Amino acid sequence: MFSNKESFKRYFLQRLEMTYGKTFEDTTSSDHFQTLGHMIREYVSSNWIQTNEQSRNNNGKQVYYLSIEFLLGRLLHNNLINLGIDQVVIEGLKDLGIDFFEVEDMEHDAGLGNGGLGRLAACFLDSLATLDLPGHGCGIRYKHGLFEQRIVDGYQLELPEQWLKQGQVWEVRKEDLAVDIYFWGNIDMYEKNGKLQFRHLNAETVTAVPHDVPVIGYHTTTVNTLRLWNAEPSSLIAKDVKDIMRYKRETESISGFLYPDDSNDEGKILRLKQQYFLVSASLQSIIRNYKQQYKNISEMHHYISIHVNDTHPVLAIPELMRILMDEEGLGWDEAWEITTNTISYTNHTTLSEALEQWPIYIFQPLLPRIYMIIDEINERFCMKLWKKYPGDFLKIEKMAIIAHGMIKMAHLALVGSYSVNGVAEIHTEILKKREMADFYAFYPEKFNNKTNGITHRRWLIKANPKLTNLISNIIGDKWVNQPESLRELLNYQEDASLQENLAAIKQSNKERLAKIIKEKNGILVDPSSIFDVQVKRLHAYKRQLLNILHIMSLYNKLREDPSIDMEPRTFIFGAKASPGYYYAKKIIKLINTVAHKVNNDKRIQNKLKVVFIENYRVSLAEHIFPAADVSEQISTASKEASGTGNMKFMMNGALTLGTMDGANIEMHELVGDDNIFIFGMNADQVLELYQNGGYSSREYFYHDDRIHEVVNQLKNGFYDHPVGEFDPIFDSLLIENDQFFVLKDFNSYASIHEKVNQAFKNKQDWLRKSIVNIAMSGHFSSDRTIKEYAEDIWRIKPYI
């Protein structure tokens, strides 16, 4: 049906009429989207079945990627590209008078993630399928993804997200594969044939129903599966009507909404229920599949790897132990051997306040059997520690899984897995040398690094088709399958015609974004100004505050002398703050307050514009990255584990302005000093200052006029804001001694911006730098990352 334009048009019209029973003229963009979606699903179904058959028959090892988040975004256009039928469809629709991009816009983003961690999971799925690797995702089918952000009067408001409103074309509900999950109740121990047995009594049963989404590889027949679990009432429960309504409500709430990333908001029982729900459903289904292949359960780890994305799904460890012992009848030692050879774990943060822990008083009643198993794992681990460090109570207490009434999920992950990886070189080093040094000393062989990556199919081929064509015209299209060969562009960095074409493409991408900004914000921005962009979640450590304070100081300079030598700048922000993160919300209000004043000040001759883009998400990001000149990656060194937005900007030719943090360091290493703008303290200096003290933010406030002026403007109503509005920000800088070194790094940041200002004037050299960045960005394709995981951690091979 997609073999050529004519046959596509025929099928499409036929399906449209059959489904909607109206004339073509009366059909809507949404009808077109649904029809296309169903056609694609039908088209891939035979390959999907075949991939499943292959994994059943070839006895190869499979990996299951367990993640509480999968931030997929839209799937239509990506699926068309991966199937190699995008041109047929786009042109076929054009013949029918339909603009494909209007149809694409009908699709709601699948926003089942907060940010980096969830999007990484989505990029990994794309790479697994494209590399023909047997890897599948397991996640939760949240009814409401990450909240929708509205900006009203400069403040963030949150609305429930509604991606399922119009139904979901991509999913297949598989009721026959449902499994039951047990919460609460008590554990009955009894003896059978001289063996101790455990039985879960008086439990509340929840049914998990899988909804499978095909994951289509690029130009290959592989179609893997993302299995999203929906929580539903069990049909077997007999209760009175009042209880039934309550039971139904409580059960459905398990897959009701995605928790916004909020490390302050600890210990919510529903979040724990979500975690166990995902883990138990996934493991039951994985083991059922495995057993259907008649393999011996004691060899499971030769055929299956289970990866846990951060600690959120780490209950996979005790749950696997439970199934192997209580359901499969294995003894502890054998079950432990299998478990610790099956589970691998990625850490995504070093922020100690973000490390998950659960109070026993919440955990034990909800998951009584799982608690018993964790308790036993802890006992045995502490015995081992005692053997190695006899008498060192302090060390054992520090490393224990359970201590002071809390269960430490990262410790459970470290003890119960065979591989622990960080997500960028510096991050892994910090884990080994600092945060997890005791564990590194105990299990050195488990630790390894896997620097993050992004799928160049979505972030370059789909998001920036013009740049894609330009690159292929110069170096051919080998890079599409081997992204590291983008390096060949290095030979053309001085090529005047390449530079000119690149400039034209950037310009047109900027015009497209300027149009979106005009529509959404009503702000006119100049597409020839420098587009300086910071898009990411709002967090103190990411230092959006540093950016806006610097903008305030540029504004002060311009007000004093509007004729100063300054390239016109457009500063663009996009960021969601966790609803309970009061301070982050104040920063959003500050950005919007500054924007309002600056954008309406006629005296500064449009040299400065500030834009806050509402409801930043994957589909908007696809328009933003290709339009950026400058990429702001300005976290306090040591705090950003890796970052992945930095890689998306780089791949689209933006120059990075950043600290030596996360993957910025590896980007710097690849492009060299001349092609990146680095500023501020490095991680060692930051960690030194934390350890030994000696920083006083007030010194910077009192002794630096520029800093003094902007910080005072937070207090003195300069931006026409209500008294006290920004006191929490002022206080964080001066009373709380500026925990993220905003003032300390301020001057270095302002100087590097001045360097950017000068560098932008030399158009040719700027374009040359941009080409070098694109050329070196292939290293950050998630294909490279996934190959490393496949070889070093999972030991999986492509389907044959």
Q: What angle do CA 369, 371, 374 make, to 5 degrees?
A: 115
Residues 6+ apart with CB under 8 A from 326: 197, 198, 369
Site pattern 52..71 for ligand 26Q (x: CB under 6 A): --------------------
What is the amino acid identity at position 69? E
DSSP structure string for 492-524:
GTT-HHHHHHHHHHHHHHHHHHHHHHHHHH---
Residues in binding contact with ligand 26Q, number by CB under 6 A? 22
- The whole-angstrom separation of Cα 26 and Cα 22 is 6
Q: How far apart are the first and last CA of the chain?
A: 27
Asked if 542 is an active-site residue, the reply is yes
- C-beta of 641: minimal distance to ligand 26Q in Å? 4
Q: Which of 251, 644, 659, 785 is catalytic?
A: 644
From candidates 271, 395, 512, 797, binder to ligand 26Q by CB under 6 A: 271
- The whole-angstrom separation of Cα 63 and Cα 122 is 15
Nearer to ligand 26Q, 135 or 645 (CB): 645
- C-beta of 302: minimal distance to ligand 26Q in Å? 29
Ramachandran class of 594: left when φ > 0, alpha when ψ lies in -120 to 50, beta otherwise:
alpha
Count other C-beta atoms under 10 Å from residue 735's C-beta.
12
From candidates 259, 418, 718, 730, binder to ligand 26Q by CB under 6 A: 259
What is the amino acid identity at position 453? G
- The whole-angstrom separation of Cα 635 and Cα 632 is 9
Where does this chain touch ligand 26Q (CB under 6 A) — which range of 92-100, 442-450, 545-553, 636-644? 636-644
Nearer to ligand 26Q, 345 or 799 (CB): 345
Closest-CA residue to 211 (of 117, 274, 285):
285
> CB–CB of 92/8 below 8 Å?
yes
From candidates 103, 117, 281, 338, binder to ligand 26Q by CB under 6 A: 117
Asked if 603 is an active-site residue, the reply is no
Give the rounded distance of the alpha carbon of 163 from its chain centre: 18
Site pattern 384..423 for ligand 26Q (x: CB under 6 A): ---------------------------------------x
Asked if 536 is an active-site residue, the reply is yes
Q: Does 137 bind ligand 26Q (CB under 6 A)?
A: no
- C-beta of 412: minimal distance to ligand 26Q in Å? 16
Where does this chain touch ligand 26Q (CB under 6 A) — which range of 233-241, 347-355, 506-514, 616-624? 347-355
Q: Does 208 bind ligand 26Q (CB under 6 A)?
A: no
> CB–CB of 793/305 below 8 Å?
yes
- C-beta of 259: minimal distance to ligand 26Q in Å? 4
> CB–CB of 470/775 below 8 Å?
no
From candidates 104, 109, 161, 640, binder to ligand 26Q by CB under 6 A: 640
């884990």: which residue's tokens? 431
Q: Does 452 bind ligand 26Q (CB under 6 A)?
A: yes
> CB–CB of 259/269 below 8 Å?
no
- C-beta of 458: minimal distance to ligand 26Q in Å? 16
Nearer to ligand 26Q, 117 or 598 (CB): 117
Q: Which of 119, 537, 607, 744 is catalytic?
A: 537
Nearer to ligand 26Q, 36 or 430 (CB): 430
Site pattern 684..713 for ligand 26Q (x: CB under 6 A): ------------------------------
- The whole-angstrom separation of Cα 10 and Cα 6 is 6
Ramachandran class of 593: left when φ > 0, alpha when ψ lies in -120 to 50, beta otherwise:
alpha
Q: Which of 543, 617, 648, 779 is catalytic?
A: 648
From candidates 31, 204, 262, 526, binder to ligand 26Q by CB under 6 A: 262
Nearer to ligand 26Q, 558 or 663 (CB): 663
Residue 398, strand partner residues? none
- C-beta of 349: minimal distance to ligand 26Q in Å? 6
- C-beta of 789: minimal distance to ligand 26Q in Å? 13
Nearer to ligand 26Q, 135 or 185 (CB): 135
From candidates 29, 50, 253, 263, binder to ligand 26Q by CB under 6 A: 263
Closest-CA residue to 770 (of 466, 467, 513, 512):
467
Asked if 648 is an active-site residue, the reply is yes
Nearer to ligand 26Q, 409 or 551 (CB): 409
- C-beta of 792: minimal distance to ligand 26Q in Å? 17
Q: Does 642 bind ligand 26Q (CB under 6 A)?
A: yes
DSSP conformational letter for 781: B
Q: Does 461 bind ligand 26Q (CB under 6 A)?
A: no
Site pattern 643..662 for ligand 26Q (x: CB under 6 A): xx-----------------x
DSSP structure string for 134-194:
-EEEEEE--SB-SPEEEEETTEEEEE---TTTT--TT-EE-GGG-EEEEESSEEEEEEETT
Where does this chain touch ligand 26Q (CB under 6 A) — which range of 114-122, 373-381, 623-631, 769-777? 114-122
From candidates 77, 348, 457, 506, binder to ligand 26Q by CB under 6 A: 348
DSSP conformational letter for 360: H
- The whole-angstrom separation of Cα 538 and Cα 261 is 10
- C-beta of 113: minimal distance to ligand 26Q in Å? 8
DSSP structure string for 658-697:
E-S-TTHHHHHHHH-GGGSEE-S--HHHHHHHHHH----H
Asked if 512 is an active-site residue, the reply is no
Q: Which of 510, 542, 585, 607 is catalytic?
A: 542
Residue 140, strand partner residues? 229
Nearer to ligand 26Q, 609 or 617 (CB): 617
Asked if 706 is an active-site residue, the reply is no
Q: How far is CA 246 from CA 235, 239, 241, 250, 362, in A?
A: 15, 10, 9, 6, 21
Nearer to ligand 26Q, 566 or 793 (CB): 793
From candidates 120, 169, 287, 420, binder to ligand 26Q by CB under 6 A: 120
Burial call 72-84: b when 16+ CB within 10 Å, e when fewer: bbbbbbbbbbbbe
Q: Provide the annotated active-site residues.
A: 348, 536-537, 542, 644, 648
Chain positions contacting ligand 26Q, by CB under 6 A: 114-117, 120, 259, 261-263, 265, 271, 348-349, 354, 423, 452, 640-644, 662
